[in-house]
Structure 1
Amino acid sequence: MGNCFSIQLSCDSVIGRCWDCAAGQAMYICQLEDNFQALEDAREKLKALKSDVERVIRDAGPQMKMLEQVRDWLSKVQTTLNEVDRLIGDGPQEIEKLCLGGCCSKNCYSSYMFGKRVAKKKKVVIALTNKGNDIKGVVSAEPLYIKRLEDDLKSLQTEREELVGLKLDVMHRVREEEGLQKKPLQQVQVWLSMVEASIVDADALLRDGPEEIKKLKSNGCSNSDFGEKVAKRLENVVEQKRKGDFKDVAARDLVESVLERPTEPTVGLGTMLDKVWSCLMQEQVGILGLYGMGGVGKTTLLTKINNRFLNIPNDFDFVVWVVVSKDLRLVKVQEEIGRRIGISIREWKSKSIDDRATEIFKTLRKKKFVLLLDDVWDRVSLRTAGVPLPTKQNGSKIVLTTRSEVVCSQMDTHRRIKVEPLAWEKAWKLFKEKVGEETLSMDPIIPDLAKDVARECGGLPLALITIGRAMACNKTPEEWRWALNDLRRSTSDLRGLTDEVFPLLKYSYDKLPNNRVRSCFLYCALFPEDFRIFKNDLIDYWICEEFWDDEENEDVARDRGYHIIGTLVYACLLEEEEGNYVKMHDVLRDMALWIACKRERSKHNFLVRSGAQLTEAPKVGNWEGATRISLMENSIQNLLEVPTCPELLTLFLCRNPHLHQITSNFFQFMDALTVLDLSNSSVKELPPGISKLASLAYLNLSRTCIQQLPVDMKMLRKLKYLNLEHNDFLDMIPRQVISNLAALQVLRMVNCSFFYEATEGNILSDSDTLVAELQCLKHLNELSIAIKSASALQSYVSTHGLLSCTQALSLECFSCSKSFDFSWIANMKLLETLHISVIKHLEEMNIDCNWRLVRERFCGSLREVSVEYCPRLKNLSCR
């Protein structure tokens, strides 16, 4: 055939080969989706297995190192997972090319190649998974930490030697500084102490190290914590080397961070101390004020705080104690601070306050300090003194003690805590300790008497301690009874009170702004122990006594009274109760009487027997020279002697329920009497001589048995205050008595005259005349009145001046039309109480005005409205 050749194939063979090729490609395409899903599942299993193997290695920690096969497997797994991730990333795009139920493709070649790669990679993943399951539990043959332990011990030896050298260098520097009269810094001392301990620990580890390694190499057993201890000690030694690079190792002066202050065991301060400490340690509290009356334990509490810094670990560089005292001198404060923080005071003599402040500030701004200011009476300018203000950033603290809450405010305290007297149980415990069990057990009666004496101290620690010590030698009931009676007198001479307690408390009195406020404070001592004094009553007394300018109008004068009460409360000389009342602590009251009756007798000269359970008045000889006398709250029955009191200004005879008789010329020699209070007594008539009290400005006859006012009362031209309320038996007030009291500012007449006589010239039976006389009082600014006729009411409501000053109004016992218009109530801006009773025929009450506006602008003070015995009343409407 020449160059020709022939290939002979059977038809079946050709067809078979073509089919095998086509079928193989089709298989990769048709199984692509299944293989792809299987690959994803296999990948997740392989990843989980890889994590398990790595966890086993990680848990083995320094004790194991990986076998080569494990390392190789992990490497292959990571490579394979990266390739699988790329395939899976391309998967969605390739699967979208499939059609005809996944058995064909829009690009057969591309789908074939991708399916083939997926299938092969799936096999690789499965193979790696199977192998990984085999080696999962395999671990290294040699513990890694043997080698690491050997390295750490060598490093520890080197670092230990370097630390010892550094320690010797620091100690040498310290000795040099001490030769210059300097003291090692606290941080240096702590560092040296910690280094010494660290070297001891390191030596022990270095000594035991070879034996531990020998155990590991022989049987693989050792103290499991040993390697960790070596590693931690090595780290600690390196850190101590770093911290030992001190710039300064000693301070110029020998300054201790805290100086312990002497103190005695205390009773009852533990809870308060914990409260103060907890507050002080709060991050947001930088300046803390402790205030309270003298002798209550503020300085003792501050001393406990100072000493607590010695016993509790803290990071304060300085705790500085400064006694400020009432004669504040900034130079003295600066010297105390400078001395405590190591500044040479001798070099300060020629420096100004500003220069000293600069030095203090330069030192303290780099430090975390506590400044304890004791006995602060006025604002201390911290900026002028050079003291940085505490902040959250610097963490410093300032604590001050004062008797005035105002000072706390002036010092910008973040928190203020009032230090209260001790509760009875703790007060009694303290008193018992000072008296002693031996004295208390001398007689069965003494303990009960001792409790009464202790109660007279009112929980004041200073008084409890002082009187307890004074009574420790009194071993008979008679001595204790005498002491108790003496304490209950206004001018007690009990040892310890007049020479220790009262002089200390008097500082608060002396520090009051002026003599006017001091007089107001002493005035409160006229009331009995624990008496709740109504603020308005107190201010009425003061206004009538003309404690301040008489030219002020009523509102200004009353506001000034409230201001003075606030001043006394903030100075902890009065205690506020329920908003409208104040009370004076028993010991402060005794101190006030000591001042008024003894210390400053020539200026004040009080005679006070209030609440003393008297049945007879003191002898008139004791009244001579007195300026203020209080016999209130006793059981005195009569006043038959005539005292000579030309300087007497105030006379309290109130709350003597059995007092029924006062001799006719009792007031004959009281020309200066300004305040007379007979309320809550059984006096039936006023002596004729009362009309000669030309200076009388205050007269309180409420809740008495007075039956009529004498005509001569109209001669009291200076009377400003007259109270006739709740006088059930008053049946006669003659005409022109009220109208002639031209200076009258306060008149109270509600609930009086239930049994009045309807006689001519009696304004109690003639409301029209009463209203007419009230209209003559041009200075009236406070009125309480009962109106008993429709015509009188009409006259009353047409007088704007009367409406605007009425505080209490009672409409009672008269007839009117069925419908009654109350719109005039809109003008009663001071009205507090409205009482309507026994109004015949009244069926409807109308208030035809903007009631909301009335309530907001005029009736803001209205507290009580009562309507009774008006049987026909059907409607009360406001339009």
Structure 2
Amino acid sequence: MGNFLSISLSCDSIISSCSDCVAGQVIYARHLEENLIDLNTALDELKERRNDVTRKALIAIQQKLRRMDEVGGWLSRTETMIHEVDELLTDGPEEIKNLCLGGCCSKNCKSTLNFSKRVAKSLPDVKDLKEKGAFEVVATEAPAALVVPRPSDSAVGLESMFNKVWSAFEQKHVGIIGLYGVGGVGKTRLLTEINNKIGVSSCGFDMVIWVVVSKGFSIGKVQDDIAKRIGLFNGNWSDKAAEEKAIDIYGILREKKFVLLLDDIWERVDLSKVGIPVPNQENDSKLIFTTRSKEVCGQMRAHKKIQVQCLPEEEAWKLFEEHVGKDVFDSHPNIRGLAQEVAKECGGLPLALITIGRAMACKNKLEEWKYTIEVLKKSANFVFPNMGEEVYPLLKFSYDRLPNDMVRTCLLYCSLFPEDFQILKESLIDLWIGEGFLDEHDTIRQARNQGHHIIGSLIHACLLEGVDDWSIKMHDVIRDMSLWIACTCEAEKWRFFVQAGYHLTQMPEGGRWKGMRRMSLMRNEIENLTEAPNCSDLQTLFLNNNPQLKVIHNDFFQYMCGLKVLNLGGSHDLTELPVGIAKLVSLEYLDPSATNIRELPIELKALQKLKCLNLSYIFRRITIPRGLISSFLKLRILRMINSYPFDEAVEESNECLLEELQCLNYLNALSLSITSAFAVDRYLNAERSHNYTEEIGLEMLKDSKQLNILSLANIESLHNLVVGRCESLEEVKMEWAGEGRMIKTQSHIQTSVIATQHCFQSLHRVYIYTCSKLRDITWLILAPNLRTVNVADCNEMEEIISEVKLSQVAELVGTLTPFVSLEYLVLEDLLKLKDIYRNVLPFPRIKKIYVHDCPKLRRLPLNSNSAKANKISIEGNEKWWQELQWEDESTRHAFLPCFIAT
């Protein structure tokens, strides 16, 4: 009986289990095959919607829009769902095989039941997720960054002043803050610290806008700077009137909680004319500005006026100590005490502390420190009205310590340029040569070397600032100090009159010219020069960058018999040089570059002292009368790059001009553009010109499919080469003619010594543009000292340096490695460019790589060892950067911080 009972229980259990299985499968398993088919269809539809949404988001990102967060979340959930359902569908056929009894039972009841339930549950989930992906909008405009961080020097000594300003900034009722104080006291540094602090604080602002205003500002420039920051500077912005721009700016900013930082204002800025809502308690926006005048703070209706004062003695010493350096103090135990005396003489002015501290950073002799104290105490007797009793005299210390009068003169000369103006070094040195400052040298190369030496010494003395390899600028306080010396302190000696960048529409009245030696009216809006000012002492006249200047009367120059330098460059509306210039018999420097003059008057033959003539960038074909250039017997510098002079026929005029150049015994700096193969041959035959040619432009060579670049290799003075608008040019060859035989790219040369003998050793800059058929520029490997390469708008260029070409000229190039001295590589609008160089390059001196619209360039010749110890930037489109292929992961990580999106 016990056995029977045992059997009975087992049967009950089995029956119960089977009953559950059958009941579940009746509901689920019977429809499994049908559900799997529906699920597969639903999944395909979900994938199609996923692809559509992804494509829309990608297009939006390319348009610099920001993908919406809900789109990103949906895509993430969709990928998870697709993965899970794909696994179900993969297992489906096996589960269907297990079904029996017409789909009502399974060989593995429990497994089939669970699987059927999962399929049934997934089907509505997939359909629901697909419906949620029906987005009307997938992206919105990307918000501007709250703050653009600004590089900051040491903030030593500013801590207490910063806390004072920040405390005012946090007060709700304070909308406008004015920071005022003498030049060089640290106002801009303070504003920089405020800018950067907002970026790391939870202040609740939408954006921070920084604008440098400076003396002689224009409403339009301020509007443009703001527009760039808030995303309005595009489309037809430049065509709008100031009133329209103000309305557009106001429309954006009135909806924002903003901070506006205006640096260096000299007069009231009318906020309404710019389009800036007045910051107040209602809109919670803020305006902080810096100025040198407390009066301006009142005009700007500042709620808080804060004077930025010179540093107290203890903080001043810390700043001075930091810039002198520990090594100097350790060199002798008594230097620290003398240094503290020097710091006291600086009166707590940060700029003076920094300038003099750096000047003393290499002085480790007691005598040098004692002499410094004596000079500072002596200079402190000078006073400059309204700028403090000791500001400029303290800065004048660095000026007085310059090696000689010539270097001091060169410094003061830089104050003729407008505030914040970037001065090209080469142009400045040409002016110094024209002025006669560098006359002690036999060759222009020697004079130029001295000019660069002077610029370097002024930069090291912290009296000039280096902008890049080609240009410098003058700190506005140093410029003011220089003008103080030239116009007030030593006015009898210098007699400067400077109104550069003042937006003048008329020349100063005649009485202002009397007695002046150097006048700068550059970067104004003067239209006519008709009155003949009485200025027989005038030696220098800057009228350049007056784009509206149209008329210069013939008599304008009649009382300028002593004028040595006349600069008219950049006056675009000027179409005619007045014959009256011929009266300037003392003229040594004449620059009508970047104008639209049609011809040079033959009367200019009277300029027998002319040393420098700049006719560059005169894009209409200017007529130069025969015999005029050869009449300038003392000419030393002639610049005609991007200018195409002619008289009757282009080839004839080129030949004539080259013949005239041979007559100029003192000429030793030449730049010119050549526009035909005939002219190239004529130039190459004029071997004397090779000794002083610094820049050549091979432009518009319509008759040339090939160019043998080695024909220019013997021009030892060639620094810059431009090849542009050569629509027929297909190939740049490397063929060397040596001792009666032509050694071509395909031939075998016995020794690679030729590679060094026939390189472009002095070539520093190459610019190649609009050569639509050119495929490579492999010849650049023969320029080992190249610093800048700029290639633009060459539609067929596939490689910069071709592997095939290199194999053809292997013996010629020897073991040369390209770009060992390169600092700047710029590639623009090269639609077919695929490669720069086959191997990775060390790039030991590279500073910047810029790539724009080169969609097929997927690789840069870099590895993790390239550009080591260099601060390099790589600029380009975000999408291009994301698609770059790297040598390895370590290379990608090494250069990730270097990228700047453009």
When the two structures are superposed, what TM-score results if normalisation uses the length of structure 1? 0.45
Counting helix residues as a fraction of each chain, which structure ranks higher?
Answer: 1
Larger Rg: 1
When the two structures are superposed, what TM-score results if normalisation uses the length of structure 2? 0.44
**Comparing both chains, which one has the higher relative contact order based on Cα–Cα distances under 8 Å and sequence gaps of 6 or more?**
1
